[in-house]
Amino acid sequence: MIDPLHTTNVQKGQTMKPETITIDDVKYVRADCVTTQPMTSKRIIVADRGWVFAGDCEDHADGTVTLYNASNIRVWGTSKGLGELVDGPLKDTKHDKYGTVRCAPIVQININKW
């Protein structure tokens, strides 16, 4: 860790570009050092008013998403949350075919199949 109070750690003319900094025992990471996973076309979408859908997604410039071959997930059937559904519905999951749905997503989760 570079000690900002002692400039002996940095040579004259050099620029400090730390990837992390710790303040009050909390470690912060530079935003340009974080990689994010791109959204895939198959997703679970949590929409307004608690609606939850799974399907093939198309993103729009206005932030909305169209789901094709969409299923409405009425009962998750999980014990640890929606993440358990990334490989498809479980035996206790209840879902209905909805066709095509367009909504503004609140949460999006990449899934492998549905």
Tokens 């004259």 label which residue? 12
- Helices then strands, each counted (H, E), the chain: 0, 7
What CATH code is assigned to 42-110?
2.30.30
- The CA distances from residue 86 to 1, 4, 27, 40, 66, in Å, are 39, 45, 30, 12, 19
Six-digit token string for 44: 């679970």
Q: How many CB atoms lie within 10 A of CB 21?
A: 13
Q: Average pLDDT for residues 92-104, to the nearest whole number?
A: 97
Q: Average pLDDT for residues 75-91, to the nearest whole number?
A: 95
| pLDDT on residue 10 | 57
Q: Is the pTM of this model over 0.85?
A: no
> What are the φ and ψ backbone dihedral angles of 84, each rounded to 5 degrees?
-70, -10
Higher per-residue pLDDT: 74 or 35:
74
Compute the mean pLDDT over every residue in the chain, rounded to the nearest whole number: 87
Q: Average pLDDT for residues 65-87, to the nearest whole number?
A: 96
